Amino acid sequence: MRSSTWIGTAMTDTVLDRFLRYVVIDTQSNPASPTQPSTIKQMDLGRLLVDELKAIGLADAHLDEHGYVYATIPSNVDKTVPVICFCSHMDTAPDFTGTNVKPQILRDYRGGDIQLVGDETQIIRLSENPALNEQIGNDIVTTDGTTLLGADDKAGIAEIMTAAQILTDNPGIKHGTIKVLFTPDEEIGRGVDKVDLGRLGAEFAYTMDGESAGQIEDETFSADGVEITITGVAIHPGFAKDKMKNAIKIAGAIIERLPRDVAPEATEGRNGFIHPTAVTAAMEKATISLIVRDFEEAGLIAKEQLLETLVEDVIAEYPGSSYTFVVNQQYRNMKVILDRHPQIVENAIEAIRRAGMAPVRGSIRGGTDGSRLSFMGLPCPNIFAGGHAFHSPREWISRQDMEKAVATLVELAKVWEERA
Ligand SMILES: [Zn+2]
């Protein structure tokens, strides 16, 4: 669906135009910064978005001191409709530079690899991007190869802005109150630290931060951290026979026995893993930090029991040594919350279908702002935004997929109103 076919939508306000306008603004976040937003430049995009939201007619649009943009699309019906929120993040990942983004548009893609124009070593290969097979005839936006693109998640922002304009300009489209939320610092895991859910006033939300057209993700990993501390028996090496228990060797033995088929490098889909992330060791004391991931709570506990049994077995081979085993909860699968409100995902699936796609439900092998929002009281699955190869100079997105995302948002607003 082309935005230009909607009444009252000027060509400079197409989702592609908006996207190209937003990606050239550098909004990289910085994990080393203690402030929120972590980088003041994220406010540059926030201010532009507030101006544009006001121009669309959303009078209450504002940017707060922590870098969040809030706005309201008022209801245009008398009946009570649940207040929903559309949410995207303004920052780009610290992994690759977002300064001086020079977006390139490849019109009417004919297939094959895409050579980026600013760096001959940067090629978007079809073999690594099978999703390109779905894009024949589409217009593909890439970088010149020297920066990331920032489709993650400025595509989501452009889509929400365009949908807000369509809903405002077309009173014939019936909808309830819809909140718009743009967050800073998602890429450094602080995207919802300072969000004011009272001020937002939404019952349910959707992040627009997924990949391929048609996807909706209602599951994340459940995640724990485990800290194993080993105390050995330290003694002068010259007099150590039958006495020394070297904590470095004990730690090595534990790591060696970690199950190889329950590792990130050996799992995909719905299988979880145990993954050592850091080791510090000396003869008298060693610490192993691990993360444990699974989609099910029971699977998480089983993995932690397996891990502790393994540690006990190793420790038993080094009499006199001892260990502590501490589990810290990190985050939980948002499906637990979303299953209590099945209409959230059902309505999104219906909207994706009405926008002309086959809905695909997926699981995220990680955490999202949506999972944190869900546990903060705002249930929030993740809808596709259309971007691919996130956080790299070979990031790409098609105009047509962004338009499908806009159509999905408009249909979603209508579905909630119809079903209220
Ligand atoms: Zn993102």
Distance (Å) from CA 405 to ligand 1 centroid: 15
The helix/strand/coil state of 384 is strand
List strand residue ranges (DSSP E) for 117-188, in order.
123-124, 140-142, 178-183
Helices (H), 213-296: 247-256
Are the C-beta atoms of residues 250 and 230 closer than 8 Å to each other?
yes
Distance (Å) from CA 370 to ligand 1 centroid: 11
Distance (Å) from CA 186 to ligand 1 centroid: 7
Domains and CATH numbers, the chain: 5-220+333-418 (3.40.630.10), 222-331 (3.30.70.360)
User: What is the residue-wise DSSP string for 3-57?
Assistant: GGGSTT--GGGSHHHHHHHHHTS--B--TT--SSSSSTTHHHHHHHHHHHHHHHT
Burial class for 109, CB neighbours closer than 10 Å (0-12, 13-18, 19+): middle
At 125-165, the pLDDT tens digits run 999 999 999 999 999 999 999 999 999 999 999 999 999 99
12 pLDDT more than 80: no
Q: Within 10 Å of residue 48's Cβ, how many Cβ atoms?
A: 15
Please report, in angstroms and rounded to a whole number, the separation of the first and last CA atoms in the chain: 26
Structure tokens at 118: 């600013």
Cis omega (within 30 of 0) for bond into 379: no
292 vs 385: CA distance, rounded Å: 29
Are the C-beta atoms of residues 145 and 76 closer than 8 Å to each other?
no
At 241-291, the pLDDT tens digits run 999 999 999 999 999 999 999 999 999 999 999 999 999 999 999 999 999
Distance (Å) from CA 254 to ligand 1 centroid: 36
The helix/strand/coil state of 322 is strand
Distance (Å) from CA 89 to ligand 1 centroid: 7
Structure tokens at 217: 């993700």
Distance (Å) from CA 77 to ligand 1 centroid: 33
Output the CA torsion 154→155→158→159 (10° steps).
-140
Instruction: Determine the number of helices (DSSP H) and then strands (DSSP E) in the chain.
Output: 10, 17
Distance (Å) from CA 257 to ligand 1 centroid: 35
Residue at 44: amino acid letter: D
> Who surrounds ion ligand 1 at CB < 5 A?
152-153, 209
Q: What is the pTM of this model?
A: 0.88
At 59-113, the pLDDT tens digits run 999 999 999 999 999 999 999 999 999 999 999 999 899 999 999 999 999 999 9
85 vs 379: CA distance, rounded Å: 10
**Region 34-38 average pLDDT:** 96
Please identify every residue annotated as catalytic: 91, 186
